[in-house]
Amino acid sequence: MAIRFEDLPPQVQNQLKQLQQFQQQLELIVQQRLQVDIKLRETGNALEELNKVDDATPIYRTVGNLIIKAGKDDVIKSLQEEKESLEVRKKSLENQENRLKEKIDDLQKKVQESLKQ
């Protein structure tokens, strides 16, 4: 027997709406974390390749719509800083993700308890 949303008590309706909002937030955070993961891999790969390149080899990097010649050490330093920044961002997103998962679990339990009554 299906229960219609309109037949639920207002408190349960509010909890379900809040649960849906938390789930949407979680989806966005997971997407952001996945994007950061991709950028981290790309940055790591670029650093690996740069370390294989001879110091005399010309290095180019993109700046907006331009491609400019850059020093190997400058590019490596820039990529390492970017990698550190991405790692901090990833950690922050993982913490947000974990907090939201806990909130969702708690709220799901409350909704289930309310529906049992």
CA terminus-to-terminus distance, the chain: 16
- Distances 13 to 5, 25, 81, 84 between C-alpha atoms, Å: 7, 19, 46, 43
**Per CATH, which fold does 11-116 belong to?**
Helix Hairpins (1.10.287)
**pLDDT-derived band at 21, boundaries 50, 70, 90:** very high
Q: What is the pLDDT of residues 106-115, one digit of tens each?
A: 999 998 888 8
pTM: 0.83
pLDDT, tens digit, 9 for 90 and up, residues 78-115: 999 999 999 999 999 999 999 999 999 999 999 888 88
